[in-house]
């Protein structure tokens, strides 16, 4: 009898702990709900019921638009520093980021800035839930499930797998998804060939300006023949970028030599192998390779060969130069798209995804001096930013 009693006790204990956890969760969600309710004085949208929510969604997309339109047109050119006219209402968005990574962090920062410029300020009329999947695909879908459960007004998904996962979950609930840092939305089946979204999902692409980059490399290194590119085989964006590089290389008289890795740990060996075969290295936005940028730079330095970057952060960290993207700008552009959707001016499905057209030149003079290379004046003249030291 005693034995059974003990077993029962233990069982009970486990159950009680489970119940407590459940209660805690309920309280947690309630709290956020209440917060929402407090903020939503003008717009009673803190419904928990799904069906109500759906009705509410369409409601939202109409009402603010009517009330706000006049307001918006007048505040077209609000400066970034000055006060912004807050959009009436209270909004909750979820930002799901696929990995921890300088460029992606910049995307997020820019995204919030873009929303701010359009009158959505975090802590005032905007509640932001942020989660990072740490490059775990399974985690990505749970994060998005949670956003749906919290009935967010919009999901911002950073990087391709996050965007796909968000769309896969959100399309059932008709919650709009705005993505950024998706290199090829068409390949990811988030948009059709004509850039029109497949559903309530749109955003910005961080497609590399391949031709401009090659042209720049040709200007800096008139005699170079072979460009080495390292990439990770599990990153789909890199493969499509390489295909594009190979296609465009001939036009500028280059040959592309690739080295592939599957983890960060492979990078040193692959760099050693690739360096002797090439005149310079060129980085993509490959997360795995960029994570090991320091190693690559050290080895290239030792060999006296320049490394070109693909975005501003890499040049700051010791790449010679790039014609690339500023991810903050990309984020701002994305934030503005999200604002249009939140205000109800447009539905996500009506906005084609956008690509940053004007890529700018970034150079690092400290690196140039070290390698005894002079960056042509025609490039430095038009540079968006020149760095004179290497960030540690």
Partner 1 sequence: MMTIVLGVLEEGLVYAIMALGVYITYKILDFPDLSVDGTFPLGAAVTVRLMLAGFHPVFCMLAAVAAGMLAGMVTGLIHVKFKVRDLLSGIIVMTALYSLNLRIAGRANVPIFSQETIFENSLWERIIPAGLAPYLTAMILLVLVLLVKVLLDVYLKTKSGYLLRAVGDNEVLVTSLAKDKGAVKILGLALANGFAALSGSVYCQMNGFFEISTGTGTIVIGLANVIIGINLFRRLTFVKATMAVVIGSIVYKACVSLAIALGMGASDLKLITAVLFLIILVVSSLGKTGRPGKTGMTGKSGANGEKRRGGKAGKEGAPHA
Question: Where do contacts with partner 1 occur on this chain (CB under 8 A)?
Answer: 1-4, 6-8, 10-11, 13-14, 18, 21, 24-25, 28-29, 48, 50, 131-139, 141-143, 145-146, 148-151, 160-161, 164-165, 167-169, 172-173, 187-190, 198, 233-236, 239, 262
To partner 1, the closest distance from the beta carbon of 4 in angstroms equals 6
To partner 1, the closest distance from the beta carbon of 229 in angstroms equals 16
To partner 1, the closest distance from the beta carbon of 10 in angstroms equals 6
Of 160 and 322, the one with the shorter C-beta distance to partner 1 is 160
102-117 and 327-343 helices cross at what angle (nearest 10)?
Answer: 40
To partner 1, the closest distance from the beta carbon of 159 in angstroms equals 10
Tell me the residue length of the chain: 392
Q: Are 153 and 163 in contact (CB under 8 A)?
A: no
To partner 1, the closest distance from the beta carbon of 13 in angstroms equals 8
Say how many C-beta atoms besides its own lie within 10 A of residue 100's C-beta.
Answer: 13
d(CA 153, CA 356): 26
Of 142 and 219, the one with the shorter C-beta distance to partner 1 is 142
Of 101 and 299, the one with the shorter C-beta distance to partner 1 is 101
**Of the candidates 341, 209, 226, which has an alpha carbon nearest to the alpha carbon of residue 285?**
209
Of 180 and 333, the one with the shorter C-beta distance to partner 1 is 180
Residue 181 region by backbone torsions, left for phi larger than 0, else alpha for psi between -120 and 50, else beta: left
- E strands, the chain, are 91-97, 126-132, 154-158, 177-180, 201-205, 226-232, 255-261, 280-282, 307-308, 321-324, 354-355, 360-364, 385-387
Of 32 and 380, the one with the shorter C-beta distance to partner 1 is 32
**Of the candidates 340, 362, 360, 358, which has an alpha carbon nearest to the alpha carbon of residue 349?**
340
Of 1 and 302, the one with the shorter C-beta distance to partner 1 is 1
To partner 1, the closest distance from the beta carbon of 200 in angstroms equals 13
């Amino acid at each position: 009898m005693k034995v059974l009693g003990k077993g029962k006790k233990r069982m009970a204990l486990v159950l009680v702990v489970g119940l407590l956890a459940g209660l805690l969760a309920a309280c947690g969600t309630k709290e956020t709900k209440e917060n929402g309710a407090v903020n939503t004085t003008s717009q009673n949208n803190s419904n928990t019921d799904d069906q109500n929510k759906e009705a509410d969604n369409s409601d939202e997309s109409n009402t603010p638009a009517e009330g706000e339109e006049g307001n918006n047109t007048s505040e077209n050119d609000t400066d970034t520093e000055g006060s912004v006219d807050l959009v009436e209402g209270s909004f909750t968005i979820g930002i799901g980021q696929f990995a921890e990574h300088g460029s992606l962090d910049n995307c997020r920062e820019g995204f919030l800035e873009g929303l701010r410029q359009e009158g959505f300020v975090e802590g005032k009329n905007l509640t932001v839930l942020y989660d990072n999947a740490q490059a775990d695909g399974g985690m990505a879908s749970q994060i998005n499930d949670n956003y749906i459960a919290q009935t967010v007004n919009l999901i911002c998904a950073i990087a391709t797998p996050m965007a796909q996962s968000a769309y896969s979950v959100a399309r059932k609930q008709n919650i709009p998804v705005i993505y950024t840092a998706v290199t090829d939305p068409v390949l990811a089946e988030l948009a059709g060939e004509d850039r029109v979204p497949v559903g309530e999902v749109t955003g910005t692409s961080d497609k590399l300006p391949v031709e401009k980059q090659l042209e720049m490399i040709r200007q800096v290194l008139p005699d170079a023949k072979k460009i080495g590119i390292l990439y990770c085989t599990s990153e789909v964006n890199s493969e499509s970028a390489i295909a594009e590089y190979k296609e465009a290389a001939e036009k500028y008289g280059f040959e592309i030599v690739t080295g592939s890795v599957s983890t960060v740990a492979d990078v040193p060996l692959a760099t050693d192998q690739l360096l002797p075969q090439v005149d310079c290295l060129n980085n993509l936005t490959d997360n795995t390779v960029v994570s090991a940028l320091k190693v690559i730079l050290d080895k290239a330095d030792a060999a006296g060969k320049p490394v070109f970057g693909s975005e501003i952060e890499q040049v700051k960290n010791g790449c010679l130069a790039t014609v690339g993207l500023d991810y903050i700008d990309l984020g701002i552009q994305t934030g503005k798209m999200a604002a249009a959707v939140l205000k109800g001016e447009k539905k996500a499905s009506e906005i084609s995804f956008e690509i940053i057209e004007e890529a700018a030149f970034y150079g690092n003079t400290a690196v140039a001096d070290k390698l005894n290379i002079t960056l042509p004046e025609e490039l430095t003249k038009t540079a968006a930013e020149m760095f004179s030291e290497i960030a540690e």
